[in-house]
Each structure stands twice: as structure tokens, then as C-alpha cells.
């Protein structure tokens, strides 16, 4: 964890809400939180089941899949054998039953499928954490343009808290509805936040060159995700059209306090998990020393245990974050071009999706923010 003094650039409430993110707490809740999982068969649902099976304060009471009703969860995910979660029978979607059996529901469903279901569950008094894109974008027209789907619940998009705990911890405490960030946006926003918040970035659009593991494409069978297509290969995709672009621009504009565009270039790596993003930023003052830039990053993430600012000269790699909640950040100043080069690494399945969802759910329910997430990266 980076050392440094506390920043005055964010509300104290946000800082206190996520303080102690290592998982320690002064007191423990009197009872556990009952949670439901809609979309138990996909990769994000699989990762949620893994995390919830070992969570100290949450327990899975309902797992929903329309195609696998009646089977035990461990039949779908054999790694859950011998756990209470693994013995849970998979059920069909029944909002009334979810309302009786759960306090909070994770929606691990495709975009377009979450909005009406979330509205129904909220009306029944449940808290909802949506892992799809349905509530990330505040502008209805922007959502409909990029996702080619009518948004039927725009008032909920206005209410939803964007679930990046380091930036929105105070808003997440007690929230009814959280929009879990996308995987690419998580690495990009955490990498750019201190530079934009402190005004050291110039006016040129940041360039985000990002590479993701294949699990980011989801579990559905697709030719482009087949082993023979991905193995021993590396390619760009979605250049200029990737749906995470407006999400990145929306959140970075909020941080910068001005409209901001980015050049976002995603690539597919022949690995299962992980996202490495190399971000190029023109500096407003090219003479600013790297030590001063590093001090701003250290200050911004001083008490954020899941963001690790690496020592000068060190750069992140995927295996050092695999299976964990860490976002590792490395900084290089290119003296020749006057650019700041930011490298971030996250695990797209944990930090970029399900683990981040659990951290947000913890805050929504008044639990220690890192409960169930003290995971050391798996190496080699």
C-alpha cells in the first residue's frame, strides 16, 4: 500500500467509508446478510459464487438460472463441492421468492435484462447490485446509442451509485442500487484519477491501450473465444466502437470537472484472466518531476489497500494481481515527449467485476468494505 498523507481532494466521508479496507472492523454485524444471485452460470456469477462461499458475513440463499433449475450449484461449478453454497439448488427466477429469501440481490445478467428486473426487486424492498451496463450511464440517449437497446428505467440510472469504492465509498453506504463498473473502466479510471483530480493532465485526450484476458468476453460459446482462435495469438478489437468508451468518458469527465474524450484501444490476450492498461497522458507542465507526480498518487491512494502504487522503476504484471482485488499502478515519465505513462493491472473477473461487486455490497449493507476479499494473488 502506498504511503503518504491524507488527501483533501475528496470528502472525509468517502475516505472514512472505505478506511480499513484491509477487512478489519471495530465491530461485527449481529447477523449475516442473505444474498441472491441471478445469473449463476456465467463467469461473473461463477466468481461471485466463489467469493460468497467464503464470505464471513454474507451467505447465498438463492442462485437463479433459467436453464439449470433444480441442479445443485456444485453440479454447475464443481469447485464449490463441500461448501454450503455448493449444496444450494438452482432455482427459476421468482422476484417474490427473492424478496422473501434475500436482503440483497446480485444481477449477473446481460445488458438489457437487468433494468426491469432491478426495478421490480427495488419495489419489493431489496437492495440491488447490477453487474451489467444497464445503470452505469446516466444519459439515456447515450446508453441507447451505444447499446442499441431502449432504456426503460432512466430514473434508476440517475439514482444508481457508480460502484468504484475508492471514489464513491460514502455514496455506497446504504445505497439501494449500485451500478458495478466495467472491467476496462476500472483500470483506466483508477489509473487516471490522481492526474485528472490534481489538474496535472493537459487538454489532449488520454490514450488508453488496454489488453484483456478471454474471460472478459463471457462464457457464451463464440468462435472468437475458441482456444484455437485465441491461443498463440494477439489482436485488437472494437477500435473506436467499444461500449466501455462512454462509461470511461463519463466518469473521467466527472473527475476532471470538464467534458473529456479518450482514445480507447482494447486488445485480446491469450490468457484467461487479467487486464493490463497502458495509458498515455500529456502533462500540462512537462517540467513537473516524476517524484511530484508519484506524491500525488501516493496521497490519493494512501489508505486504499487494494490500490498498490509500485516503487519507482517497477511496472505491474498480470500474475501479481490474479484472483485478487488489487489494482497495481506503475508510473513512468517520458522526458522526451513530456508525457506521463501510467500502467495499471487488475484481475478482470475479481477486481473488474465480481470482487468489486462484493466490496460495493459490503458498503451497501454496512459491512467492513473488504470483508471476504482478503485474497492474495495466485502465482505462478
Question: What is the per-residue pLDDT for 380?
Answer: 86
DSSP string, 81-121: TTSTTTTPBEE---HHHHHHH-SEEEE---TTTHHHHHHHH
Higher pLDDT, 19 or 158: 158
Q: Are both 173 and 213 inside the same structural domain?
A: no
Give the whole-angstrom CA distance, residue 141 versus residue 149: 10
Q: Is residue 169 part of a domain?
A: yes
The number of distinct structural domains making up the chain is 2
Is 94 part of any domain? yes
**pLDDT over 90 (residue 13):** no
Per-residue pLDDT tens digits for 238-280: 999 999 999 999 999 999 999 999 999 999 999 999 999 999 9
Which residues are annotated as catalytic?
183
Residue 143, pLDDT > 50, answer yes
Determine the structural domain holding residue 40 and report its residue range.
Answer: 12-181+351-364
The per-residue pLDDT for 64 is 97
**β-strands 177-179, 127-130 pairing:** parallel
Query: Is 379 among the domain residues?
Result: no
Taking the C-alpha atoms of residue 358 and residue 55, their distance in angstroms, rounded to an integer, is: 9
Q: What is the CATH number of the domain that holds 117?
A: 3.40.50.720
- Classify residue 320 by its DSSP letter: G
Q: Is the pLDDT of residue 3 over 90?
A: no
pLDDT at 336: 96
Return d(Cα 97, Cα 31) in angstroms, integer: 21
pTM of the model: 0.92
Tens digit of pLDDT for each residue in 309-331? Answer: 999 999 999 999 999 999 999 99
164 lies in the same domain as 18: yes
Angle among Cα 51, 271, 167 to the nearest 5 degrees reads 50
What string of DSSP letters covers 165-185? Answer: HHHHHHHHTT-SEEEPPPHHH
**68, pLDDT greater than 50:** yes
| Same domain assignment for residues 25 and 163 | yes
What is the spatial distance between Cα 274 and Cα 288, in angstroms, rounded to a whole number?
A: 32
Confidence at residue 30, expressed as pLDDT on a 0 to 100 scale: 52
pLDDT band with cut points at 50, 70 and 90 for residue 11:
very low
- For residue 261, report the phi and psi dihedrals to the nearest 5 degrees: -110, 160
Mean pLDDT across 103-122:
97
pLDDT mean over 100-107: 98
What pLDDT sits at residue 29?
56
- Which range (158-172, 174-188, 220-234, 316-330) has the least confidence? 220-234
Task: Name 241's Cβ contacts closer than 8 Å, sequence gap at least 6.
Answer: none
Q: Do residues 131 and 180 make contact, with C-beta atoms less than 8 angstroms apart?
A: yes
- Both 202 and 342 in a single domain? yes
pLDDT at 59: 95
Residues 6+ apart with CB under 8 A from 79: 50
Q: What is the pLDDT of residue 53?
A: 96
The single-letter DSSP state of residue 190 is H
Helix axes 290-300, 183-197, angle to 10 degrees: 120
**Has residue 125 been placed in a domain?**
yes
Q: Which three cell numbers stand for residue 363?
A: 458498503
Per-residue pLDDT, 97: 97
Could you tell me the end-to-end alpha-carbon distance of the chain, in angstroms, rounded to an integer? 22
- Mean of pLDDT values over 159-182: 97
Q: Are 243 and 289 contained in the same domain?
A: yes
The mean pLDDT of 80-97, rounded to a whole number, is: 96
CA dist., res. 358 & res. 29, Å (int): 16
CA-to-CA dists, residue 42 to 82, 91, 176, angstroms: 21, 15, 24
| Confidence grade of residue 224 (pLDDT, cut at 50, 70, 90) | confident
Task: Quote the CA–CA distance of 22 and 14 in Å, as a whole number.
Answer: 16
pLDDT in the model for residue 31? 72
Give me the pLDDT at residue 222, please: 82
The rounded distance, in Å, linking the Cα atoms of 253 and 184 is 16
- Asked whether residue 374 is domain-assigned, the answer is no
> Which residues neighbour 237 within 8 Å (Cβ) at sequence distance 6 or greater?
224, 266, 267, 268
Which DSSP string corresponds to 32-49? PEEEEEE--SSHHHHHHH
Express each pLDDT in 333-367 by its tens digit: 999 999 999 999 999 999 999 999 999 999 999 99
Query: What pLDDT sits at residue 7?
Result: 34
Rounded mean pLDDT, 20-46: 73
163 and 143 share a domain?
yes
The residue-averaged pLDDT of 205-228 equals: 89
Residue 197 reports pLDDT greater than 60: yes
35 and 24 in one domain? yes
Number of H helices, E strands in the chain: 13, 14
Question: Does any domain span residue 5?
Answer: no
| Cα-trace Rg, the chain | 20
| Same-domain status, 192 and 170 | no
- Whether 2 maps to a domain, the answer reads no
Do 118 and 195 lie in a common domain?
A: no
Q: Is 220 helix (H, G, I), strand (E, B) or coil?
A: coil
Same domain, 37 and 107: yes
Do 171 and 188 share a domain, yes or no?
no
The rounded mean pLDDT for the chain is 92
Q: Does some domain include residue 1?
A: no
One domain, residues 194 and 173: no
Q: What does the pLDDT read at residue 10?
A: 40
Question: Domain of 301: which CATH number?
Answer: 3.30.360.10
Amino acid at each position: 500500500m502506498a504511503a503518504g498523507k491524507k488527501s483533501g481532494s475528496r470528502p472525509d466521508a468517502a475516505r472514512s467509508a472505505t478506511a480499513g479496507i484491509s477487512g478489519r472492523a471495530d465491530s461485527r454485524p449481529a447477523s449475516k446478510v442473505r444474498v441472491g444471485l441471478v445469473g449463476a452460470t456465467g463467469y461473473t456469477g461463477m466468481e461471485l459464487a466463489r467469493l460468497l462461499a467464503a464470505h464471513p458475513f454474507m451467505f447465498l440463499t438463492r442462485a437463479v438460472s433459467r436453464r439449470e433449475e433444480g441442479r445443485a450449484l456444485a453440479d454447475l461449478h464443481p469447485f464449490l463441492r463441500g461448501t454450503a453454497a455448493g449444496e444450494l439448488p438452482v432455482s427459476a427466477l421468482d422476484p417474490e421468492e427473492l424478496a422473501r429469501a434475500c436482503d440483497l440481490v446480485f444481477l449477473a445478467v446481460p445488458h438489457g435484462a437487468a433494468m426491469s428486473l432491478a426495478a421490480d426487486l427495488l419495489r419489493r424492498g431489496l437492495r440491488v447490485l447490477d453487474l451489467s451496463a444497464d445503470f452505469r450511464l446516466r444519459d439515456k440517449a447515450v446508453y441507447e446509442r451505444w447499446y442499441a437497446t431502449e432504456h426503460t428505467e432512466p430514473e434508476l440510472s440517475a439514482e444508481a451509485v457508480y460502484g468504484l469504492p475508492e471514489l464513491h465509498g460514502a455514496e455506497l453506504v446504504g445505497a439501494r442500487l449500485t451500478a458495478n463498473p466495467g472491467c476496462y473502466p476500472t483500470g483506466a479510471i483508477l489509473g487516471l484519477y490522481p492526474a485528472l483530480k490534481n489538474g496535472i493532465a493537459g487538454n489532449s485526450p488520454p490514450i488508453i491501450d488496454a489488453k484483456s484476458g478471454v474471460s472478459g468476453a463471457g462464457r457464451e460459446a463464440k468462435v472468437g473465444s475458441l482456444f484455437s482462435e485465441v491461443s498463440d495469438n494477439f489482436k485488437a478489437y472494437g477500435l473506436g466502437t467499444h461500449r466501455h468508451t462512454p462509461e470511461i468518458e463519463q466518469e473521467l469527465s466527472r473527475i476532471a470537472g470538464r467534458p473529456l474524450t479518450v482514445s480507447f484501444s482494447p486488445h485480446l490476450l491469450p490468457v484467461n484472466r487479467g487486464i493490463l492498461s497502458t495509458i498515455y497522458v500529456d502533462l500540462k507542465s512537462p517540467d513537473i518531476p516524476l517524484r511530484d507526480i508519484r506524491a500525488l498518487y501516493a496521497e490519493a491512494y494512501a489508505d486504499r489497500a487494494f490500490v498498490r502504487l509500485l516503487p519507482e522503476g517497477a511496472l505491474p504484471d498480470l500474475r501479481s494481481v490474479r484472483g485478487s482485488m488489487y489494482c497495481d499502478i506503475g508510473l513512468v515519465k517520458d522526458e522526451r515527449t513530456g508525457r506521463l505513462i501510467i500502467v495499471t493491472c487488475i484481475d478482470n473477473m475479481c477486481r473488474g467485476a465480481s470482487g468489486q461487486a462484493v466490496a460495493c455490497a459490503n458498503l451497501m449493507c454496512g459491512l467492513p468494505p473488504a470483508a471476504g476479499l482478503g485474497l492474495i494473488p495466485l502465482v505462478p
